[in-house]
């Protein structure tokens, strides 16, 4: 499961309707889709048809058969953060459409390759052919990343080279985080601390959103310090989102979340409240370690959810989410001291992290 | 099998000794290794250790355990072409070391991901775990490509953005060619023309070498026409190399080539003389189609080699190789009209395509 993909899915309001609250954020997302859609379509048109067909759904704005999705250019959380950051720092969002498209293309690579890696991990290291043409998925991901870098290299904007450096560094960080996650998964549950898990989750869930904000800063002409602060804002907000999402995935009301209850407990990746409970050193944590060491077949989701809660995993995740959101706001204030100017970025992140629960 | 990898392997003289002929080219390769090695080492040092350990051997200058290869920085055919092109057009090769390293990193991505795709193809679409941590190989390839684009984005040289565009377009072309090759492999042998195969082979074997030469032109300050001509030079030479390599792989004297006889006939990819014979419409071609349609277990290599030769596959490949080398020389003369200035590029390509046979 791609962390960033979750935020993007979230950006799509249920049934295509925007909730009445969050109107400003919904409009920012819609505006990002309008601005970035044409850039994405032109960029992906250079791919051979078969790879384009694999690539389009990863961008959230096309069906697997290549026909465009009704309702516009997809979710565009990353592009919306790029444009909101440009606007918050007094730049021209219209000049950053290509950079925003490059972020979305990188998101596409990540979703495609993470899918291959997830299926591989589920099979003990051997990628299967759960989707038609696993080989084409790898190729389409490679091609999307190349197109992302091409867009930035072709962009005459003075911020483009620094944006290209940040995007490339982000890909390296995402790959490193994905590798580190595998290493942690391979260790015995009780031996991995919550701090180790959260460091990996911060990179996996936060690096691309942080990079989106930083690229927006660079396109507004801001210096590296401001860009780094906005990177921190997006990164901490992304991690807060992941924590909240995991809590809701375990304890959310299925009638309100729209997903099956406890589904996240059956996923190959352990939710963060679970890893905290496993590392808690409590009797419930120790019982949970026993359940996890015996494999997924042995785990009753209701029993796991109760043990995680008693071991403090739910409280830990909620405290962490609040802490990370507070760090995000601190970084935002550092980058954009005027609260009125910072309002757009804040509304967007609040909209993306708000969940029925 | 990575097409470009073959040229790179070739660049390593047997036993580490340079043959007495080709002294100029051998010196150019050694010089490229000296110039580019430090850039590569610094670039790859940013990767986490486990991914670095996977990535290093793909660059030909490190063992899988991370210790440096004795004897220098590997083969460096791509970097040597970049630097030779810069020199041929009167530029400063010292200013192009980062660009040359970016080409070598892209070569690394291609070798790593082609390995995954080859193992997948050999298993009917399901990548296996023939190397430890197939998942890490995918991640290391992604990271190498990101580092390649980062090097160019960080390079203040005025040619860097155009070089980054060409390198990204080259990756898209390599991915498209790899996909097209799979499509051809999936069709019935007799229904695919030699022209279709050679178009795919031109991209697969030629795109990165062409891109290396074009990037050299860009770094020398040449315009797009000259860069395109040098791209054509490298591309046609790369295809000529692939044709010669396939002929030698079938009919070369194992005592002189150092490889087992006919080994290329057992590889998953069909050699070009074979595809020409299959499409020849001759009685020997038809017999060969029958052999190939029955699967690899049915094919006696000696019988296949004789049938390919009688069906005209060997002559066709040799004629094609000569034709492609002549096209390469035409493109070189267009880009660098002074034969003395063109001498370095010519010597390099002749050295890379020369084989004991």
- In this prediction, residues B248-275 reach a mean pLDDT of 82
d(CA A216, CA A231): 10
The answer to whether A146 contacts B133, with C-beta atoms less than 8 Å apart, is no
Q: What is the largest CA-CA distance in chain A?
A: 60
Confidence bin at B21 (pLDDT 50/70/90): low
Residue A141 has phi, psi (to 5 degrees) of: -65, -45
CA distance B136 to chain A (A): 7
The answer to whether A48 contacts B161, with C-beta atoms less than 8 Å apart, is no
Determine which of B30-39, B85-94, B313-322 has the lowest per-residue pLDDT on average: B30-39
- Is A55:A104 a contact under the CB 8 Å cutoff? no
In chain A, alpha helices (H):
3-11, 23-44, 49-58, 77-88, 97-122, 134-154, 160-186, 194-219, 224-251, 254-257, 272-278, 283-293, 301-310, 313-335, 339-353
The answer to whether A164 contacts B180, with C-beta atoms less than 8 Å apart, is no
- How distant is the alpha carbon of residue A59 from its chain centre? 13
β-sheet bridge partners, residue B68: B62
β-sheet bridge partners, residue B150: none
Residue A62 has phi, psi (to 5 degrees) of: -160, 150
The answer to whether B120 contacts A135, with C-beta atoms less than 8 Å apart, is yes
Give the 3-state secondary structure of B221-244.
CCCHHHHHHHHHHHHHHHHHHHHH
d(CA B89, CA B342): 8
Contacts of B48 in chain A (CB under 8 A): 176, 179-180
Q: How far is CA A311 from CA A240, A283, A286, B191, B322, in A?
A: 21, 8, 9, 65, 74
Confidence bin at B20 (pLDDT 50/70/90): very low
In the predicted model, is pLDDT for residue A10 greater than 90?
no
User: What size, in residues, is chain B?
Assistant: 357
- How distant is the alpha carbon of residue B5 from its chain centre? 5
ipTM of model: 0.86
CA distance B186 to chain A (A): 12
- Is B353:B241 a contact under the CB 8 Å cutoff? yes
Q: Which H or E element spans position B110?
A: helix B97-122
Contacts of A120 in chain B (CB under 8 A): 127, 134-135
Among the partner residues A109, A139, A149, nearest to B149 by beta-carbon distance: A149
* Other Cβ atoms closer than 10 A to A184: 18
CA distance B181 to chain A (A): 11
Q: Which pair of tokens denotes residue A281? A: 């050193």
Nearest-Å Rg of the Cα atoms of chain A is 20
Confidence bin at A351 (pLDDT 50/70/90): confident
- Is B333:B17 a contact under the CB 8 Å cutoff? no
β-sheet bridge partners, residue B62: B68
Q: CB-based contacts of A71: which residues, under 8 Å, 6+ apart? A: A16
In the predicted model, is pLDDT for residue A357 greater than 80?
no
- Is A210:A234 a contact under the CB 8 Å cutoff? yes
Residue B68 has phi, psi (to 5 degrees) of: -65, 145
The answer to whether B153 contacts A161, with C-beta atoms less than 8 Å apart, is yes
Residue B270 has phi, psi (to 5 degrees) of: -75, 130
Which residue in chain B is spatially nearest to A48 when comparing CA positions?
B176
Q: What is the pLDDT of residues A48-69, one digit of tens each?
A: 888 898 888 888 665 445 444 4
Determine which of B68-77, B143-152, B300-309 has the lowest per-residue pLDDT on average: B68-77
d(CA A289, CA A278): 6
Burial track A291-304 (b if 16+ CB lie within 10 A, e otherwise) = bbeeeeeebeeeeb
- Is B140:B190 a contact under the CB 8 Å cutoff? no
In the predicted model, is pLDDT for residue A196 greater than 80?
yes
Confidence bin at A266 (pLDDT 50/70/90): confident
Name all contacts of B23-30 with Cβ < 8 Å and 24+ positions apart.
Answer: B24/B343, B24/B344, B24/B347, B25/B347, B25/B348, B25/B350, B25/B351, B25/B352, B26/B351, B28/B80, B28/B83, B28/B84, B28/B344, B28/B347, B28/B348, B29/B75, B29/B76, B29/B77, B29/B80, B29/B348, B29/B351, B30/B72
Burial track B64-76 (b if 16+ CB lie within 10 A, e otherwise) = eeeeeeeebbbbb
DSSP at B68:
B
In the predicted model, is pLDDT for residue A333 greater than 90?
yes
A–B interface: beta-carbon pairs under 8 A: 162
Among the partner residues A127, A146, A164, nearest to B126 by beta-carbon distance: A127
Q: CB-based contacts of A253: which residues, under 8 Å, 6+ apart? A: A356, A357
- How distant is the alpha carbon of residue B157 from its chain centre? 27
Mutation site, A143, A151, A186, interface B, largest B CB count within 10 A: A143
Q: What is the largest CA-CA distance in chain B?
A: 60
The answer to whether B153 contacts A153, with C-beta atoms less than 8 Å apart, is yes
Q: What is the pLDDT of residues A95-129, one digit of tens each?
A: 999 999 999 999 999 999 988 887 776 665 555 54
Q: What is the pLDDT of residues A232-249, one digit of tens each?
A: 999 999 999 999 989 998
Which residue in chain A is spatially nearest to B134 when comparing CA positions?
A125
The answer to whether B172 contacts A147, with C-beta atoms less than 8 Å apart, is yes
Q: What is the pLDDT of residues B57-81, one digit of tens each?
A: 888 665 555 444 433 334 788 999 9
The answer to whether B161 contacts A165, with C-beta atoms less than 8 Å apart, is no
Confidence bin at A283 (pLDDT 50/70/90): very high
The answer to whether B109 contacts A142, with C-beta atoms less than 8 Å apart, is yes
The answer to whether B113 contacts A142, with C-beta atoms less than 8 Å apart, is yes
d(CA B265, CA B262): 6
- How distant is the alpha carbon of residue B41 from its chain centre? 22
Identify the three-state secondary structure at position B137.
helix
CA distance A40 to chain B (A): 15
DSSP at A62:
B
User: What size, in residues, is chain A?
Assistant: 357
Residue with token string 């200013």: B95
CA distance A345 to chain B (A): 27
CA distance B137 to chain A (A): 10
CA dihedral over B310, B312, B313, B317, signed as positive or negative: positive
Residue closest to A230 by CA, chosen among A141, A334, A313: A334
pLDDT of residue B76: 85
C-alpha neighbours within 13 Å on the C-beta side of residue B223: 2
Contacts of B113 in chain A (CB under 8 A): 138-139, 142
> Pick the residue with more confidence: A97 or A186?
A97
- How distant is the alpha carbon of residue A121 from its chain centre? 19
In the predicted model, is pLDDT for residue B324 greater than 80?
yes
Q: Which pair of tokens denotes residue B77? A: 């055919």
Mutation site, A155, A173, A175, A185, interface B, largest B CB count within 10 A: A175
CA distance A196 to chain B (A): 15
- In this prediction, residues B94-115 reach a mean pLDDT of 94
Confidence bin at A3 (pLDDT 50/70/90): low
- Is B136:A179 a contact under the CB 8 Å cutoff? yes
Nearest-Å Rg of the Cα atoms of chain B is 20
pLDDT of residue A126: 52
């Amino acid at each position: 499961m791609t962390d960033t993909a979750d935020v993007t899915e979230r950006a799509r309001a249920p049934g295509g309707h925007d909730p009445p609250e969050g109107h400003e954020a919904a409009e920012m997302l819609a505006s990002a889709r309008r601005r970035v859609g044409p850039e994405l379509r032109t960029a992906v048109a250079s791919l051979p048809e078969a790879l384009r067909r694999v690539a389009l759904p990863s961008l959230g704005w096309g069906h697997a058969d290549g026909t465009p999705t009704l309702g516009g250019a997809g979710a565009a959380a990353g592009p919306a953060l790029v444009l909101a950051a440009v606007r918050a720092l007094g730049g021209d969002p219209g000049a950053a459409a290509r950079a925003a498209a490059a972020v979305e293309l990188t998101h596409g690579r990540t979703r495609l390759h993470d899918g291959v890696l997830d299926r591989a991990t589920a099979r003990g290291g051997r990628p299967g052919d759960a989707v038609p043409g696993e080989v084409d998925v790898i190729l389409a991901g490679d091609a999307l990343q190349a197109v992302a870098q091409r867009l930035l290299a072709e962009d005459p904007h003075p911020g483009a080279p620094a944006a290209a450096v940040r995007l490339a560094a982000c890909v390296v960080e995402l790959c490193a985080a994905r590798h580190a996650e595998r290493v942690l998964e391979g260790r015995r549950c009780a031996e991995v601390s919550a701090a180790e898990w959260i460091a990996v989750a911060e990179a996996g869930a936060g690096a691309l959103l942080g990079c989106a904000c930083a690229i927006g800063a660079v396109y507004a002409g801001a210096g590296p310090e401001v860009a780094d602060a906005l990177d921190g804002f997006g990164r901490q907000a992304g991690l807060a989102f992941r924590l909240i999402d995991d809590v809701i995935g375990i304890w959310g009301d299925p009638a309100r979340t729209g997903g099956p209850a406890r589904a996240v407990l059956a996923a190959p990746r352990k939710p963060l409240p679970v890893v905290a409970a496993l590392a808690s050193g409590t009797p419930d944590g120790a019982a949970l370690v026993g359940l996890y060491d015996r494999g997924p077949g042995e785990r009753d989701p209701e029993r796991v959810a109760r043990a995680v809660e008693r071991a403090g995993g739910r409280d830990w995740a909620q405290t962490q989410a609040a802490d990370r959101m507070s760090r995000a706001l601190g970084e935002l204030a550092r980058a954009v001291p005027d609260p009125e100017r910072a309002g757009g970025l804040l509304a967007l992140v609040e909209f993306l992290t708000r969940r029925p629960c």
